[in-house]
Chain A
Amino acid sequence: MLLEMEKITKQYGDLTANRSIDFNLRAGEVHAIVGENGAGKTTLMRILYGMEQPTSGTIRVKGQDAAFTSPADAIRCGIGMVHQHFMLFPSFTAAENIVAGREPGSLMRFDRKKAAAEVEELCHKYGMKIDPWAIVGGSPLGVQQRVEILKVLHQGAEIIILDEPTGVLTPLEVKELLEAVKSLAKQGKSFILISHKLNEVMDTADRITVLRDGVVTGTVNSGETDVEQLSRLMVGRELIQIERKPSMPGVEVLEVEGLTIRGHKGKPLLDQVSLNVRAGEIVGIAGISGNGQSELLQAISGLIKQDAGRIALVGAEVSAESARGIREKGLAHIPEDRYVWGADKSATVQETGLMGHHRRLQRFGFIRQKAASSLVADFVRKFSIKTGTLETRTQYLSGGNLQKLIVARELAQGTPFLIAAEPTRGVDVGAMETIHSELLAKRDAGAGILLVSSELTEILKLSDRILVMFEGRIVGEMAAEEATEEKLSLLMAGGKQQ
């Protein structure tokens, strides 16, 4: 056994994040850890990587007892970690990032050529392609991640921890990454893969350990299990298959015509986009992120100005309206980036949850405190958001819990039209189920929803009609019944509709 963690317990005050967890890893194995937000996955990995000390329990690497007090100890024992948020110097080249800390050359001189050569050799050895001279900040996220993995390999890691590695990648990049992981495992490297996405885990991992509430609820061989069993182990109950009633589209709630936004480099960010959303239907926009979806949503919600085209909301022209005016006309918006647009990290949970409702819950210009706190308390209850109190700062909510708060807030605006951009990004299976059924309930209640997601499964599951965006244009439209993952992927990559 390459790595053994035995009876690991970690307590923070009253909270037990890990309770007597046993975990082991064989050489050349991919061992996935799955679990909902707050199940204790990250804590366990932080302990393994020396960032936290366990309250009790032992770690053995190659049979030797190991007690790590810092990541440097862990690295020395051949353990490397690729974090969810990359830890790279954006203005440095790939090679500089990879060799950082162990630069070739003498004390006074950094031998860049040698560094590049080392990196090329590393790439060759492990079959991962990158350009050592490329500036990391300008590279796609998939490349940045490869740089991270090469950095860990350059450190001499035998055990590589990947924390939610596919969250930010495009479908193609995900595929490449998982191929790379499998091929590295064949060459004897061992991986611990932390993930939410059961399909990826089933495809890549040899064994899967499921955590729930800080306890191991099962360790299974991937060949002997299925997604349903894993979900049960994760959530602790059967997931309900959401039933979709046929949609009954009514009047048009959103009409976009010839929307164009010129970019800085001559190529338009949005090129003559026209679409409509009717009451009682969900229109999904599929596309690899960065093909104009963000601009489209921001233009519809009045956050950026279009260069040409018109937008009408519930029959009223809103092309020149402010963000405020458009909200008043009937828009609610689950933004794609919860920290940039969706919350003020320094504000309290109540303040973040109140946005948009505050103008309604007032009397003579004063916020009605009781109404405001009962509103947000309802959100917390309905979506089981884990927060200390309503006065807790938003920054202390986990990403998934903040997402739930934002979704709850926007659904409660009670508008005839809703933008849902990446509504389940970073949330666990149970919460995803809640959010999906709430979105469908909103549709059945007669609202029109424009859904943008980089998860094809989500698009296919919720949409009544699917549009595909590529390079700022709508390149395809199809009814949900005729859409398949293959057809959509082809269009998303710039192929022609048959």
Chain B
Amino acid sequence: MSNRWSKYVLPLLQPFAAVLIGLIAGSIAIWIAGGSIPETYSEMWKGAFGSFYFFTNTLARATPIILIGLGAAFAFRAGFFNLGAEGQMIFGALTAALVGLYMPGPGWLVCVAALLAGITAGGLWSALAGWFDARFGVNLLITTLLMNYTAALFAGYIVAYPLKDRTGSAALAQSQMLDNSVWLSKLFKGMPVHTGFILAVIAAIVIYIFFKRTVAGYEMRMLGGNPLFAVYGGVRRGAMMLSAMFVSGGLAGLAGAAEVLGTQYRYIDGALSTANYAWTGIMAALLAGAHPVGTAVAAIFLAALQTGGMGVERNTEVPLEIGSVIQAVLILFISAKFTYTYLKRRKEKNADGTAA
């Protein structure tokens, strides 16, 4: 009995404690900003879940965060650090926009093709970093992180020069708007949440089953747990790394594609970076200890902090950043644990004296 209890409850203790401390820190910030704590939190709740519109708005915002979080969690589980979600998402979004704009054919087919193209673009961009690691031994943390800039600047150039939308206000660097036949349909008429959310939920469940039940999922988890043990047992590290990185980046690419096809309907330079989807997604994965379903829940929670923060700004004197304060405290507490385990792994790896 107590064993079951500890199995399910203990892993939740740390994230809940982090959330609680985050809310307390938020209270202090609200108090300093001169707002009323209960009023601010109640506005925050309303902004996130207060009406059906706000609720679906939160889900819409959560969609890319869930997908990116799942991608990060996928790589973490296999023992790799993919910090390149932003670049992979940008390439996914750009490719989806280009396919959506220039591919002939019926709208639904173009939409599916655009989603697949987004997955492929994000996946390949991520697998390239994996290949650099496997072939040249360049640290994944560094390549994935730096390749974000390459992707963002390249995509910015594409929509600022060759494929710039010259029909509307000429000041913005963005692509033309997609025809509405290729849009991802909304789940409820007039509500922000679109079919991409369903895709994200399905992805969470599929990944959960993948890790729990399949041979490849087992091999990846063992690789993440102890790479030497996995290789000893006949797991092909190189192939597993490339596939894990492809899936991880592919999910980020899907996030970008879904954002373009379901919400923005065009590629706008900087729109994905300023919304901070990528880092929020990585945080969701960390918050949930890379558990796929937990990552989805954490992503919705983090999205709610952001949409709630907007509600706070609309209706009180307290600034929008209150959500960021809570989020920042969360990062602090989660990264403390995460850095600790990462360093421990590094240390053990060094102690073996052998690289996998």
Contact = CB atoms under 8 A, between A and B. Distances in A.
Interface of A: 301, 303-304, 322-324, 327-328, 333, 335, 340-347, 351-352, 354-356, 358-359, 362, 365-367, 369, 388-389, 391
Interface stretch (B101-109, B140-148, B226-234): B226-234
B213 A324 contact: no
B232 A323 contact: yes
A323 B354 CA distance: 15
A303 B231 CA distance: 7
A344 B78 CA distance: 13
A323 B222 contact: no
Nearest to A357: B233
Given A343-B226, A347-B222, A388-B3, A359 B231 contact: no
21 contacts: A303-B231, A303-B232, A324-B234, A327-B233, A327-B234, A328-B234, A333-B232, A335-B232, A340-B229, A342-B232, A347-B222, A347-B225, A347-B226, A351-B218, A352-B229, A355-B222, A358-B218, A359-B215, A366-B214, A389-B3, A391-B7
B352 A346 contact: no
A365 B234 contact: no
Of residues B213, B214, B219, B234, which shows the largest number of chain A Cβ atoms within 10 Å of its Cβ? B234
Interface string B225-254: 110111111111000000000000000000
B225 A324 contact: no
Nearest to A343: B229
B236 A365 contact: no
Contact of B214 (A328, A354, A367, A388): A367
Interface in B201-221: 213-216, 218-219, 221
A323 B233 CA distance: 8
Contacts of A322: 234, 236
A411 to B, nearest CB: 15
A356 B230 CA distance: 9
Contacts of B226: 343-347
A298 to B, nearest CB: 8
Nearest to B356: A303
A341 B234 contact: no
Nearest to B2: A13
Contacts of A367: 213-215, 218
Of residues B219, B225, B232, B352, which shows the largest number of chain A Cβ atoms within 10 Å of its Cβ? B232
Interface string B273-304: 00000000000000000000000000000000
A122 B251 CA distance: 64
A367 B209 CA distance: 11
B225 A344 contact: yes
Contacts of B222: 344, 347, 351, 355
Contacts of A355: 222, 229-230, 232-233
B6 to A, nearest CB: 11
B2 to A, nearest CB: 9
Contacts of A304: 354
A342 B219 CA distance: 14
A333 B228 CA distance: 13
A345 B227 CA distance: 12
A419 to B, nearest CB: 11
Main secondary structure of the interface of B (DSSP, over half): helix
Interface in B56-72: none
Nearest to A360: B215
A389 B297 CA distance: 29
B215 A324 contact: no
A343 to B, nearest CB: 6
A366 B234 contact: no
B241 to A, nearest CB: 14
Contacts of A335: 232
A323 B215 contact: no
Contact of B228 (A340, A352, A358, A366): A340
B232 A301 contact: yes
Contact of B232 (A341, A358, A359, A389): A341
Given A358-B218, A366-B215, A367-B218, A344 B229 contact: yes
Contacts of A369: 213
A388 B1 CA distance: 12
A388 B6 CA distance: 14
Contacts of A358: 215, 218-219
A342 B229 CA distance: 6
Contacts of A389: 3
A323 B231 CA distance: 7
Nearest to A352: B229
Contacts of B234: 322-324, 327-328, 356, 359
A494 to B, nearest CB: 25
B100 to A, nearest CB: 33
Interface in B1-50: 3, 7
A341 B213 contact: no
Nearest to A347: B225
B181 to A, nearest CB: 37
Contact of A362 (B7, B215, B233): B215
Contacts of A365: 214-216
A356 B233 CA distance: 5
A35 B352 CA distance: 31
Nearest to A362: B215
Contacts of B228: 340-341
Contacts of B231: 303, 323
Contacts of A351: 218, 221-222
A391 B212 CA distance: 13
A457 to B, nearest CB: 27
A367 to B, nearest CB: 6
B209 to A, nearest CB: 9
B14 to A, nearest CB: 16
Of residues A304, A322, A389, which shows the largest number of chain B Cβ atoms within 10 Å of its Cβ? A322
A425 B138 CA distance: 38
A31 B354 CA distance: 40
Given A341-B228, A341-B232, A347 B214 contact: no
A71 B233 CA distance: 41
Contacts of B214: 365-367
Nearest to A331: B234
Nearest to B225: A344
Contacts of A366: 213-215
Given A343-B226, A365-B215, A324 B235 contact: yes
B218 A354 contact: yes
Contacts of A303: 231-232
Contacts of B215: 358-359, 362, 365-367
A322 B216 CA distance: 18
A369 B215 CA distance: 11
Closest 5 CB pairs of A and B: A344-B225, A324-B234, A355-B233, A344-B226, A327-B234
